[in-house]
Amino acid sequence: MRPIRALLALAAVLIAAPARAEVPPPPGFADLVAAVQPAVVRIETLEHAATAPRGHGARLAQPSQDKAPPELLGAGSGFLIDAEGTVVTNHHVAGEAQRITVTLADGRDFPARLLGSDPATDIAVLRIEPPLGAPPLPFLRFAEGAPPRPGDWALVVGNPFGLGASVSLGIVSAQGRNLGGLAWGELIQTDAAINPGNSGGPLFDAAGRVAGVTTAIVTPTGGSVGIGFAVPAQVAAPVVTALAIEGRVRRGWLGLQAQAMTRELSRAMGGAPPQGALVDAVVPDGPAARAGLQPGDVVFALDGLPAVGPLAIAHGIALRPPGSTATLSVWRAGQERVVTALLADTPAPPPAAAAPPAAPEHRGYGLALGAITRAARTAQHLPPEMPGALVTRVTPGGTAEAAGLRAGDLILGIGSAAIRGPQEAAAALRAAGSAGVALRVLRGDAAIYVALPAPG
C-alpha cells in the first residue's frame, strides 16, 4: 500500500505543476531575404572558347552549322548597386565576354555592357539600361567598417547551377585567406554554400548589407563542400567605384619583391624584426630603389602602422593612387630608419622564365654550386655582367632541400652582401656559424630569401 500512496502523491504534484511555456524558435532570415533578393541578378555570357575564362557554371555549347568557332556559354550571379542599372559581378564571369545578358529577379532581361574589369580582385562592373519611364531598380549597399568576424552570420543569394533565386546560410569561417594573391590575401572564408553559378553574387551580413562578393570555392567534387570565399566589401567597394568611373583601377606601385619574415630568418640575419616583409629584390630605378631601399631590408611599418607581412604592405600600397607617398619603417644591418617613396603606376608583370638544368651534387650543405652558365642567363634573361652562383643540384634529404632550395636557383647574395661567384659563395657557407645564413636567391622571375641552417 505504501508504494501506491507514493505514486498517487507524485501524480498529484505533477497535475498541480504549471505547464511549461513553449520556447519560440529562433527568428529566421525570411524578411531579410525578401528585402535583398530583388536586387540579385542572373548573368549569362557568350564568349569565344579560345579566350574564355573558366568561370563557375560555364558549359560548352555546340558549334553552329556554318562551322563558326566554338563558343562558351557562361553563367554567374551579380547584384545592382544603384537605381540606374550598375551591376557588380566577377571578372571571371563577365570580364572577357563578347555578349552579356542580365536577368532581374522579376524575369526581365537586359543586354549589358562592361564598364570595367579588374582581374587582381576578380571584380567586374556592368551597366544595363532600363527603358525610359520604368520604375527605379532595387539595389544593395556595401557594408562599411570592419569586415565580419569569424562566427558572424553569412548569407549567400545567387543562381547556383542555373536554379535562380537560391539562398544558403552559414557563418564566416575565417578572414584574411589567400588564394594565389587574389585581393591581396584578404578573402572572407565561409561555410555558406557557394556553388557553380554563385560567382559574382553577394555575401550578406545579418543586417542585409553586402559584406563580400563571392569569388571561388575549394572542392574535390565540383560543388560546395563548405569552403567558399568572397572578396570583402572593404576591398571590392573602391574597386567598383574606380571601374564605374574610369573603367580601370590605378594602383600605387613600390617596385619591390618581398617575403614574410620568420624567426629563422631573423636569427640568420642577426636579430632582424621577426615580423614584417623582407625585401628580396628592388626594381632598378623604381620607387623603392629611388627611396633607397635595398635587398635585405626588413620593412616593419607602413606610415607608422605595424606591417604584419608583405601582403599587408602590398594592399596598403595598392590602395594609394600613383603619385602619392608612402612612409616605410625599415631595419637594415641592426639599425632602424625611415624612408619615403613616391609611388608610380603598376606596370604589367614580366613573363616567367624556365629554370636551367641540373648538374652533379656534392656534400656539406647538400648542394652543388657552379658558375652561371650562358644557358642560365638566357633562360633567366640576366645581363652578362650579373654576378652570382648557380645551384646545380640539391641532395635529397639534405640541409639545402629541407630549407627549400632547388636546382636552378641563382644565389645572388648572402645576407646583405652580394656574391660574385661560386667560390665566394662556397667560402661564405664554410665560414657560416651555427646560426646558419640567409641566402638571397633568384628563382624564375622572383627573388626570395632562404634561411639555410648550419649542417647537422
* pLDDT for the residue 54: 40
* pLDDT for the residue 86: 97
Continuous segment of H or E residues that includes residue 3: helix 2-16
Catalytic residue ranges: 92, 122, 199
* pLDDT for the residue 62: 29
Burial of 59 (0-12, 13-18, 19+ CB in 10 A): exposed
Is 252-345 in CATH node 2.30.42.10? yes
* pLDDT for the residue 321: 87
* CATH, domain 367-452, list 1.20.950.20, 2.40.50.320, 2.30.42.10, 1.10.1060.10: 2.30.42.10
Residue type for 185, please? G
How many Å apart are CA 431 and CA 433, to the nearest integer?
A: 6
Percent of the chain with pLDDT over 90: 41
The DSSP secondary-structure symbol of 69 reads P
Enter the pTM of the model: 0.66
* pLDDT for the residue 395: 84
How many Å apart are CA 254 and CA 319, to the nearest integer?
A: 12
The DSSP secondary-structure symbol of 422 reads H
Say if strands 153-158 and 202-204 run parallel, antiparallel, or are unpaired: antiparallel
* SS3 label, residue 12: helix
Say if strands 99-103 and 86-89 run parallel, antiparallel, or are unpaired: unpaired
How many Å apart are CA 298 and CA 265, to the nearest integer?
A: 11
* SS3 label, residue 374: helix
- In the chain, where the domains are located: 27-249, 252-345, 367-452
CATH number for the domain whose boundaries are 27-249: 2.40.10.120
How far CA 104 is from CA of 11, 157, 327, 364, in Å, comes to 62, 13, 46, 67
* pLDDT for the residue 245: 94
Is the fold of 252-345 the same as that of 367-452?
A: yes
How many Å apart are CA 451 and CA 311, to the nearest integer?
A: 20
* SS3 label, residue 306: strand
* pLDDT for the residue 257: 84
347-356 contacts, C-beta under 8 A, 24 or more apart: 347/253, 350/445, 351/445, 352/444, 352/445, 353/379, 353/380, 353/381, 353/444, 353/445, 354/379, 355/379, 355/406, 355/407, 355/408, 355/443, 355/444, 356/380, 356/390, 356/408
Q: What pLDDT digit, counting tens, does each position of 189-227 carry?
A: 999 999 999 999 999 999 999 999 999 888 777 788 899
* pLDDT for the residue 400: 84
* pLDDT for the residue 186: 83
**HSE on the CB side for 144, CA within 13 Å?**
1
How many Å apart are CA 295 and CA 289, to the nearest integer?
A: 10
Q: Which residues of the chain have pLDDT under 50?
A: 50-70, 352-362
